Chains A and B, each alone.
Chain A
Amino acid sequence: MNLIIKESQEAVIRNQSNISIIAKPKTKSIIIIFEPIKLSIKLEQNSELSLYIFYKNSKVKKQITIKENSKLINNEIIINSNIENQTKLIGKNAVYENKNLLITSKESSINTEIFHEMQQTKSKIQNRCLVSKNAITKCKGKIFIPKSSIECESHQKSEAILLDPTAKYEASPILEIFTDQVICSHSANISYINPEKLFYLNSRGLNENLAITLILEAFTNTILQEIPELLATQSKVKILEVLK
């Protein structure tokens, strides 16, 4: 399916495996996509796209290019999937913001590579992951800033909660920086539901199940709150199915 956005619009795409989107200049659109397999997204100059995607049991390849003064907000709910994401910021002031909520109960991975090919480009990635019984989750991220791309800014953040003693998680956030005029950072955190936190909530009258639900809701809501309600409602149902 090819979608060329000539005017600002809101759209929902279902049942399409191979999707190509081109956002023409001066457009500002919101697109929701359910379970694609191959995605190609191009933002031309001065465009803005908010892209919300839901994946379940998928193997996905996603390629993004963003031109001058354009911005892509890309929030995703990823359930038991393997995602390859390559983003190229090829125009000055291009911005890429990516937030992913991963829920895994089997082997899953996300591999995000961002190439800052032009100066003054910005990227921000945040991954939050709930890893349940017998799941192995790999979270890779790579930021590449060549010599000519001065005044770039890039931040990566990866957080995971392991829900079961058999859950496994691996993070490798890579930075390759070839110039000095940049601001870059990355952080990763792997933790579990802390018994002290549970005890605190228990002492406030919540039973254990309710306390765990509250902690997990707080963890997932950071991303769920930033996606349209249509997708959020459906995601919550699917997340509960997996976590049960």
Chain B
Amino acid sequence: MSGLTKELVKKISKIKNEPKWMLENRLKGLELFKKTKLPTWGPSLKELNFKNITYYTDPNAPETNTWTKVPKKIKKTFDKLGIPKAEQKVLAGVGAQWDSNIIYHNILEKLEKQGVIFENMDTAVKKYPELIKKYFMKVVPISDHKFTMLHAACWSGGTFIFVPKNIKVERPLQSYFRMNSQRGGQFEHTLIILEEGAELHYIEGCSSPNYTENSLHAGCVEIYQKKDSKMRYSSIENWSKNVYNLNTKRALVHENAKIEWVTGNLGSKVAMVYPTSILIGKNATSESLGIAFANKNQNQDIGTKAIHIGKNTSSIIKSKSISINGGISTFRGLVSISKNAINSKSAVKCDALILDKKSISKTYPTIKQDNNQSECTHEATVGKIGEEEIFYLMSRGLTEEQATHLIVNGFISPIVKALPLEYALELNKLIEMEIQE
């Protein structure tokens, strides 16, 4: 279903058999989207033709909890991505989305008995209406920016996770989003609620095949963390190089709670992703580790935001970017310490590596501090791989290519180490392939 109209929005809502408030949300999003202009800052989005995008594609596969029931063609793709294998080995639950709808969902029985909910977002709207209505698009309001408006109008699929009080999910839960149709749009909604003292590691993977026409990913991630909860959100976004990845990720972190963002952005034509932590409770902390890799014709506009509202809050932001073959990598960060956030601390460090003369690196950090009992530091460096370093490694028997890989691996290793082993290996391999291209 291409082109975004009121009829289409109503149709999506009807297919999903949604409650009235959700349809109202969608229509409000559509109305605001039409009125709002494209952002004037950041990478150009002029080539993104909203009339050409297919806003809803049903994979014609009902949701199941066994891989044998998944259509062969779809199963083959997920096999190649290693999802069923990873589920057996290291994960506590898996969700898999093909275009607009979730086609597979499963969670360990033990967790289900403990009250952990890991559900397709469409199903959750019907199964837990009060809970969803209370939290849906509250920390990311519909009116936030043009692409949250679009997301509100045509969101489909995604994941809902609820972890009850004091439950610690020991193995990670994972969702994998695959955008397969040409000129497709994927607008999955991820809603995670951690009750007091709960702990969770959630992993998100994204990919798509390469077509000649542009595709759009405008997902939304909302995380609500209550007192003393701990959350790690890891994502490897490896969209194909015709995708506009305009994802919104935000966490509301209460007293003594901790959020960790570990993000790797490799694919996409244009990526504008800025995970945000709103540290609202006393002693809330946020740690953000991010890698962006920009190859030919790619513009990776990535960054992290930390909004300190509660007292004694702290944030650490570490960002690494690599540009090669004319790619543009940008760090766009914000640290804001409000008047009441006394005794807060923030440290930002971003390093950029430019691998050739054609490539570009940009850094736009903003630091705001509105009280005199807090401390903020920021540092950034931009440079290339030193000839001496390459020469030293080559004198030890490595080829120039091997030496470059080794240095790049060393450059990103502080962030890769935060990923589970399987994903760390995958990320290293993906970056090696990008450099060889």
Residues of A within 8 A of B (CB): 131, 147, 150, 160, 162-165, 167-192
Contacts and interface: CB of A to CB of B under 8 A. Distances in A.
Given A162-B371, A168-B368, A190-B367, A175 B382 contact: yes
B304 to A, nearest CB: 15
Nearest to B367: A171
Interface SS, B side? strand
Given A172-B365, A191-B375, 9 more contacts: A147-B358, A176-B360, A177-B360, A180-B356, A182-B354, A183-B382, A187-B378, A189-B378, A192-B373
Interface string B110-149: 0000000000000000000000000000000000000000
B380 A164 contact: no
A158 to B, nearest CB: 8
B363 interface: yes
Contacts of A167: 372
A174 B373 contact: no
13 contacts: A162-B371, A170-B366, A171-B366, A174-B365, A175-B380, A180-B354, A182-B354, A187-B378, A189-B375, A189-B376, A190-B369, A190-B376, A192-B375
B25 interface: no
Nearest to B336: A170
A127 to B, nearest CB: 13
B271 to A, nearest CB: 18
Interface residues of B, number: 34
A206 to B, nearest CB: 21
A102 to B, nearest CB: 15
Contacts of A184: 381-383
A180 to B, nearest CB: 4
A174 B352 CA distance: 13
A190 B382 contact: no
A151 B151 CA distance: 45
B357 A179 contact: yes
B414 to A, nearest CB: 18
A165 B366 contact: no
Contacts of B379: 185-188
Interface SS, A side? strand
3 tightest A-B CB contacts, nearest first: A162-B372, A180-B354, A180-B384
B355 interface: yes
Most central of A170, A187, A188 by chain B CB within 10 Å: A188
B368 A178 contact: no
A160 B374 CA distance: 12
A115 to B, nearest CB: 15
Contact of A180 (B357, B368, B376): B357
B11 interface: no
A61 B90 CA distance: 61
B376 A188 contact: yes
A174 B363 contact: yes
Contacts of B378: 171, 173, 186-189
Contact of B372 (A165, A170, A181, A182): A165
Contact of A175 (B342, B363, B377): B363
A21 B371 CA distance: 41
B376 A165 contact: no
Most central of A150, A164, A183, A191 by chain B CB within 10 Å: A191
Contacts of A188: 365, 367, 376-379
Contact of B380 (A183, A185, A189): A185
A176 B371 CA distance: 30
Contacts of B368: 168-170
Contacts of B361: 175, 177
A146 to B, nearest CB: 10
B359 interface: yes
B213 interface: no
B334 to A, nearest CB: 9
B355 A180 contact: yes
Interface in B327-361: 339, 342, 352, 354-361
A129 to B, nearest CB: 11
Contacts of A192: 372-375
Contacts of A191: 375-376
B21 interface: no
B79 interface: no
B339 to A, nearest CB: 7
Contacts of A164: 372
A178 B382 CA distance: 11
Contacts of B363: 173-175, 186
Nearest to B347: A189
A100 B377 CA distance: 19
